[in-house]
Each structure stands twice: as C-alpha cells, then as structure tokens.
C-alpha cells in the first residue's frame, strides 16, 4: 500500500481583508448624504442593503461614485431633490428607518416602501417620535409598518419620547437626523434600550463626521 507523507505547514495563508460592516456602511452613507462636502468611505460592504440605499440616494439627487468598496459621496447638507416615485428599499430595515428620519429634513412629500417582508416590520415608535418633533409622517396602511408617507412639514425640534425596547435603529435614526432640526432636540428613552452597542456605534460615526 502506497504511503502519503503529510508535512505540516509552518503558517497559514498571508493576509485577508474582512468584509465591511452593513451597520457601519448604512450609517455612514446616511450621514454622508446629510453632510456638507465630499466624503470618502473605504471598505464599504457590498450587499443588497447597501445597494438599495445607494439607489434611493441617487433618486434623491446624491452623486455617489464607486470604485470597488470605496464610495465617494457628495453631501447635500440635508437638502435633496424630490423623487418622482416612491423610494424602494427592499428588506433593508436600517435604510428604511434611517431614511424615514432623514427625509423629514428637506420639506417635500415622499413615500418609502419595501418588499413584502419589510412591510411587516415595525416602525411606529419612530413615526411617533418624529411627529412629536414637528414632522408629519404616517404608516400608509395604518399598521405601524411601511410603506411610510412623509409629508412636507420639516423637523421642528423639541422633546420626544421613544421606546428602546423594540429596535435601537429608531434611536439611531433620530440621532443622525435631529442635528438638522430647526431647534434643539431632547430625546428621552423609555424602557430598556436593546442593542445599546449599535447606538454607541452611531454616536461614534457621528463624532468622526
């Protein structure tokens, strides 16, 4: 019987690059869209979620150039063009929630929608908080899920209370958009905040900008 000698390797392969984070990418895209000036995002995740987010931002007038996992975003300083049709965000909960808050800033009416699964995912607490801050947003089917209708009333400011028990994305969406409100904003979180590290992530990215 033939024998096969197996020689142990001294080391494993050289270097590998870990794929980018969806959580980082969609937060950075949202803030870059609202920022003034150009932003370079390196190591962005290429996924369905980031694809629909980029497509939606394009319909809002954003110029985004891509070279592999590097995005160049020309910020609109919170001012966008009104899209000709509802913005479709697939099953991206992050983009839907973040853009719902973001699109209370420009002062036009727009609808956000998604696939069948996205239209079953809750967003009511975020809508309530935005309405407390002077916006006019609603669930079109009246079930606190997308599609979401955002009317032309801008985000005024003030105080809003939001539950932290369902999704930390609601608070993250508010944190990213409310610096553009007309007056100062105070956010009060009731119940225990779930996934607090994601809120910390949002604050960290905001500091970098």
Across 145-159, average pLDDT = 96
Q: What percent of the chain has pLDDT over 90?
A: 83
**In whole numbers, what is the pLDDT of the chain averaged over residues?**
94
DSSP string, 5-73: --PPPSS--S---PPPPHHHHHHHHHHHHHSSSEEEE-S---SHHHHHHHHHHHHTT-EEEEETTEEEE
Across 28-45, average pLDDT = 95
The token duo for 123 is 């967003």
Across 35-54, average pLDDT = 94
pLDDT band at 47 (very low <50, low <70, confident <90, very high): very high
Q: In the prediction, which pLDDT does 30 show?
A: 96
Among 1-5, 55-59, 139-143, 183-187, the range scoring the smallest mean pLDDT is 1-5
Across 117-139, average pLDDT = 97
pLDDT of 3 > 80? The answer is yes
* pLDDT per position as a tens digit, 67-86: 999 999 999 887 899 999 99
pLDDT of 42 > 80? The answer is yes
Across 98-116, average pLDDT = 97
CA distances from 174 to 8, 20, 55, 122, 199 (A): 54, 24, 22, 16, 11
Identify the bridge partners of residue 102 per DSSP, sorted by sequence position.
none
What is the second-level CATH architecture of the domain 78-208?
Answer: Alpha-beta prism (3.65)
pLDDT of 27 > 80? The answer is yes
List of residues 6+ apart from 209 with CB closer than 8 A: 31, 32, 35, 39
Measured from the Cβ of residue 66, the count of other Cβ atoms closer than 10 Å reads 13
| Tokens 């870990």, located at residue | 18
Q: In the prediction, which pLDDT does 1 show?
A: 65
Whole-angstrom Cα distance, residue 64 to residue 66?
7
Q: What percent of the chain has pLDDT over 70?
A: 99
Q: In the prediction, which pLDDT does 11 show?
A: 76
Whole-angstrom Cα distance, residue 91 to residue 117?
6
């Amino acid at each position: 019987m033939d024998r096969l000698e197996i020689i142990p390797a001294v080391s494993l392969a050289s270097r590998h690059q870990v794929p980018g984070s969806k959580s980082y990418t969609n937060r950075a895209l949202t803030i870059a869209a609202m920022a003034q000036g150009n932003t370079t995002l390196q190591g962005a995740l290429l996924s369905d979620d980031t694809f629909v987010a980029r497509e939606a931002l394009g319909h809002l007038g954003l110029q985004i150039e891509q070279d592999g996992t590097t995005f160049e975003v020309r910020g609109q300083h919170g001012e966008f063009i009104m899209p000709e049709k509802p913005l479709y965000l697939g099953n991206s909960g992050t983009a839907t929630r973040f853009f719902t808050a973001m699109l209370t800033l420009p002062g036009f009416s727009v609808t956000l929608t998604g696939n069948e699964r996205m239209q079953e995912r809750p967003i009511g607490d975020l809508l309530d908080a935005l309405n407390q801050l002077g916006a006019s947003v609603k669930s079109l089917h009246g079930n606190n899920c997308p599609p979401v209708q955002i009317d032309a009333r801008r985000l005024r400011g003030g105080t809003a209370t939001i539950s932290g028990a369902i999704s930390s994305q609601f608070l993250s969406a508010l944190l990213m958009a409310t610096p553009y409100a007309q007056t100062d904003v105070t956010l009060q979180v009731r119940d225990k905040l779930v996934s607090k590290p994601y809120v910390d992530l949002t604050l960290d990215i905001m500091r970098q900008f």
